[in-house]
Amino acid sequence: MTTADKREDPIYVSPMVTGPTVKELEDISAELNLGLEGSTVLKEYQSVINDSLEMVNQLDDLVEPSLPVKYPRTPGYRPTREENPHNAWYYKCRITGADNGNLSGKRIAIKDSIAVAGIPMTIGFSGLEGYVPDFDATVVTWVLDEGGIILGKATCEELCNSANSYTSGTGPVTNPLNPRHCAGGSSSGCAVLVATNEVDMAIGGDQGGSVRIPASWCGLVGLKATFGLIPYTGALSGEFVVDHLGPMARTVKDCALLLEVIAGYDNGNDARQPNDLKTPSYSQQLEELDPKSIRMAVLKEGFGSPGSDPEVDRLVRETIDTFASSSGAHVQEVSIPLHKSSIAIGTVIGDIGGVDMTYNTAGVGLHHTGYYATSMMRDVGARLKHNTKNLHPINKAHLIEGTFLKKNYCHLYGKAQNLKRQLEKKFDDVLVD
């Protein structure tokens, strides 16, 4: 029998989707409160479903489009403690791209929530060990196209769900300014590697501060760019409407340079992006900028909030005043009272939407028109499903809370999203002025 014959013979072919057992149908019926009981009735449903699944299995013969892997690389390795004193590296490698470009010779670290083909990826969770992406995230390809050198994957906090730096499955990431202190998260390793000059730049991810917090705590420049400006294609999503990737560097100039490379339209692969997106030369804009032309709004509600440190508030205001007096920039205080409720709004979106995104669709999501990393959905999804017992207590609490809210108060997600749009409009109005 030839190979072609075997492909046609069901004895040699395992279907992509196998039909449900009667017991599985019984369990689903009970969960959905359908009132279907008895094997006779369920077998009738089983027959109808199996007929439908024959159509579903036709997908197995179709070849789907995939993200490109343009540049060769070796597998890399897990660094020893001696060469990784702050635990900032998850995996080391060396991937070189084009001979010339805007990032020629620049050393880059990639957060371990962003796919790099052939390099293991855990998103900070030990339960995902063994997953190796077969595709490069768009920003990885664009960095290599511009001559950047990728030196590895930076440690991140477990499932990117902590602003501190002690939840990663590989252990705490320490702050190089004081190893007894946190480096900030969730892009903890990125910040430390840039701060210690092991790399020139890093690409982090930010849903609720995960670029900005570690950049601040390690004395760097970190930017959460405008939503959709940088394609999120190939990175694990925390919640579709708040997903951002962002550059991290030691200087504003390098931050602008990396932004210039990784910002832009991804040909429809990322549904977060408007299809008319245009990006300027940020480096050139920075060089031509007259500081006296800067108009800065300082948010009144950003200070004096419950839990904030008065000393930090004082230092930030002092820094703003120093910048204004030395540069001639115009500074104006503005007020957006709804900002006081932003944490509550974000908590509901992150709890209900984030749990659904991460645990039910493996950080890829549903209901959007962009690229679906099906290997990530399959492999990360299976590992998450079987290893949730190994989650950090922070993420166990997050999973329980999000599941509870979705099951009993799902409408709050809609209310939070509506309030988010209202809050965005308030900020847009300030920026227009």
Average pLDDT of the residues in 155-177: 98
Residue 181 pLDDT class (50, 70, 90 cuts):
very high
pLDDT digits (tens, 9 = 90+) for 311-365: 999 999 999 999 999 999 999 999 999 999 999 999 999 999 999 999 999 999 9
- Assess whether 6 carries a catalytic annotation: no
Of 162, 188, 210, 237, the catalytic one is 210
Model pLDDT, residue 38: 80
Q: How many CB atoms lie within 10 A of CB 52?
A: 11
**CB contact at 8 A, 174 and 87:** yes
Average pLDDT, the chain: 96
- Assess whether 153 carries a catalytic annotation: no
- The residue to which tokens 């791209």 are assigned: 97
Between CA 144 and CA 148 the distance in angstroms is 5
Average pLDDT of the residues in 177-185: 97
Model pLDDT, residue 272: 98
Of 111, 153, 224, 420, the catalytic one is 111
- Taking the mean position of all CA atoms in its chain, how far away is CA 176? 24
Average pLDDT of the residues in 386-406: 97
Dihedral angle at the C-alpha atoms of 161, 164, 168, 171, nearest 10 degrees? -170
Of 165, 168, 186, 188, the catalytic one is 186
- Assess whether 281 carries a catalytic annotation: no
Range scoring the smallest mean pLDDT among 198-202, 306-310, 415-419: 306-310
